Amino acid sequence: MRKITFFLLFSLFSLCSTAQYPFEPWSANISVNSSDIDKYGINNCFAEEEISPAVFARMKGKSYKDECTIPLSELRYIKVLHITLEGEIKMGEMVANRAISRDLVAIFRALFEAGYPIERMVLVDNYNADDNASMRDNNSSAFNFRYIPTGGRLSAHSRGMAVDINPLYNPYVRERDGKITIAPIEGKDFVERSGAFPYKIDRDDLCCRLFLQYGFEWGGDYKTIKDYQHFEKR
């Protein structure tokens, strides 16, 4: 009997120690260290998959609204690692169109390996799909069924074909009839782009160069507005 008990305890211990803690389930914004990553395998830390029922439960009625016109089968859940300005390695997540999901995994891997800082990457659903709240928190994200900041038409984010990176420091800016729209408004100090500041995206930085290389356009190149956080594939 004692032998059996010992065997059972030993089996339970082995089962626990082989569980893929802290990576399963994937928990965005949780810090991990390099020995955890080595054990789990770096390739497993950069992956894309179909939208699981658990992920859809988070999106439903938020980024994936009832009137959403894109089939769920066109979207992918992306798991990546990113590194903060403080050097912390974190799990990141994003939902995007399957037409760009592989590009995104490759781009985020290259950024991670180069130590390019991204502060936060969690689903916009964590902010109730409120884009302003997400941008204010400097959260990088892609899919969200929503309209452009000035209203009128659907954003490319509605199809998951656009990505916003470090948005607080790279705001959307539109000037028309003397009226300036800045989103998020908390990023107003970063409308002026001539100086140097953390998380700044310009044409020379690695993030911008990679997205352009993969065939995306950059919102900083737009003529009538500037959307420094925004990369989109048409």
Q: Which residues make up the interface to Zn ion (CB under 5 A)?
A: 162, 164, 230
Alpha-carbon span 98 to 23, nearest angstrom: 23
CB atoms within 10 A of CB 175: 13
Residue nearest to Zn ion according to CB distances in the complex: 230
Name the residue nearer to Zn ion (CB basis): 49 or 175: 175
Say which amino acid occupies 170: N
- The token duo for 96 is 């995007």
Smallest distance from Zn ion to CB 212, Å: 16
The least distance separating Zn ion from the CB of residue 41, rounded to whole angstroms, comes to 32
Q: Output 58 or 230, the one with its CB closest to Zn ion.
A: 230
User: At a CB cut-off of 8 Å and minimum separation 6, what does 93 contact?
Assistant: 26, 28, 77, 78, 79, 80, 121, 122, 123
In contact, 144 and 154? CB cutoff 8 Å: no
- Please say which residue, 91 or 124, places its beta carbon nearer to Zn ion: 124
- Give the shortest CB-163-to-Zn ion separation in angstroms: 7
| Beta carbon of residue 139, minimum distance to Zn ion (angstroms, whole number) | 12
The nearer residue to Zn ion, 55 or 162, going by C-beta atoms, is: 162
